[in-house]
Structure 1
Amino acid sequence: MTFFTVAEYQSSSLTAWAQKMTREIIESFWEAMATNDFAKAALWLHPDFEYFMPQTCEYLTGRENFARFNAAYPTEGKWTFSIQSIVFADHDAVSDVLISDGSMHARAITFHKLRDGLIVRQKEFWPDNYPAPQWRSPWMKVVGDAPF
């Protein structure tokens, strides 16, 4: 077994490889979600998968439950998923994804933890849009789309 110091690991191609794999796994997961075949998307989830929504304190386990939950979600049409950004470090990632069924428009901020090349844990936030407070208007302006 080879051991690396933190400095050696951070400067090595191992770090670059881990980050590349993490990014590809997260992108592939969202691409599978976009097919609306949630059993297919669940193949990117580890058998010990855990999912938590802190805003409602809901928790589920298992990739089968994840697939069934998403398939049962009320919808007006086919779901679309548009990745806005992915930030990653080794086997952790955060994705910012716009989600819509043509009627409903939402944003999901998802914290992903990977193990064995699969997503083992997701903590997902669904922030609501709200009007900008008036007190901030001297410094801020309201824009239609994200400027970056």
Structure 2
Amino acid sequence: MNSTDIVRAFWASMQSNDFDMAAREWLSPDYIGSWPQTGEVIRGPAEYAAVNNAFPGRGDWRFEEISLVADGNRVVTDTRITHEPLEIATHAITFHEISGNLILRQTEYWPDEYPVPAWREGFLKIDRQIAQW
């Protein structure tokens, strides 16, 4: 498998909502995940599974690839993450580093939707369909 295949298989595994299995199959034992916006660090597949299992709405999470860019052992994904019953729709921009056939490191950003700043109002047209938030 190449790096793109590994990352796509990881996201497909996350789609099952079996986060223990996804972590066990696709994350290196030396895995480190970081969320720079909060400073949190995830160490190892077990901790990754634990934090994902702690999210509300167990079993209804959906993961849709919006884009993927790869360069050797580095892959960047923009993934739309939704939970219809909780009315959640967000994106995760994830930088994956692959070692062997496993994900060694992920750096993930969770951008929040926000209103147009007052100084920019009227300059640009709002089109949610094209923007696909």
TM-score (norm 1): 0.81
Specify the alignment match of 2:64 in structure 1: 82
Contact map agreement 2:81 2:90 (CA 8 A) in 1: yes
Structure 1 residue 146 displacement after superposition: 3.3
Specify the alignment match of 1:107 in structure 2: 91
Specify the alignment match of 1:3 in structure 2: none
Structure 1 residue 132 displacement after superposition: 1.5
Uncovered stretches (5+) of structure 1, i.e. residues with no partner: 1-19
Measure, in 1, the Cα distance between the counterparts of 2:59 and 2:124.
Answer: 35
Structure 1 residue 76 displacement after superposition: 6.9
Specify the alignment match of 2:30 in structure 1: 48
Structure 1 residue 50 displacement after superposition: 0.3
1:108 match: secondary structure? strand
Measure, in 1, the Cα distance between the counterparts of 2:130 and 2:4.
Answer: 22
Amino acid at match of 2:31: F
Cα deviation, 1:32-90, whole Å, max 9, x if unaligned, reads 00000011211101110001000000001000111111111122760000110011100
Out of 118, 121, 129, the residue aligned to residue 145 of structure 1 is 129
Please tell me whether Structure 1 or Structure 2 has the larger radius of gyration of its CA atoms: 1
TM-score (norm 2): 0.89
Specify the alignment match of 1:124 in structure 2: 108
Q: Larger deviation: 50-59 or 128-137?
A: 128-137
Specify the alignment match of 1:67 in structure 2: 49
Uncovered stretches (5+) of structure 2, i.e. residues with no partner: none
1:92 aligns with 2:74: yes
2:28 match: secondary structure? strand
The correspondence of residues 7-18 of structure 1 with structure 2, limited to 5 A, is none
Corresponding residue pairs, total? 129
Amino acid at match of 1:31: A
Higher strand share: 2
Distance change (3 Å), C-alpha of 1:33 and 1:76: closer
1:145 match: secondary structure? helix
The correspondence of residues 33-44 of structure 1 with structure 2, limited to 5 A, is 33-42=14-23, 43-44=25-26
Identity of aligned residues (%): 38
CA RMSD in angstroms, aligned pairs only: 1.7
Q: Larger deviation: 47-56 or 133-142?
A: 133-142
